[in-house]
Amino acid sequence: MIFSDVATNKARLVAYCEPEVKEKLERLAESRLRSLSNLIESILVEEVAKAEASGELGTSPERKSP
């Protein structure tokens, strides 16, 4: 499987879950008119924001220009 044809500058993330969880996520994505990837990204972004807000993660370090 070759992923180089994907037009994005986002990092690739691979995760494993039970088939039932995947099926439910696919149904949820469809009901929200999102792709599965976009739904999962939005869930992850939300969780990171919560962790930063609670102090569990801290804030993101400033990125330096190349």
Close Cβ partners of 10 (under 8 Å, ≥ 6 residues apart): 41
pLDDT of residue 12: 92
Give the ranges where the chain is alpha helix by DSSP (H): 19-31, 36-54
Residue range 4-59, pLDDT digits in tens: 666 789 999 999 999 999 999 999 999 999 999 999 999 999 999 999 999 998 76
Q: Give the pLDDT score at 25.
A: 98
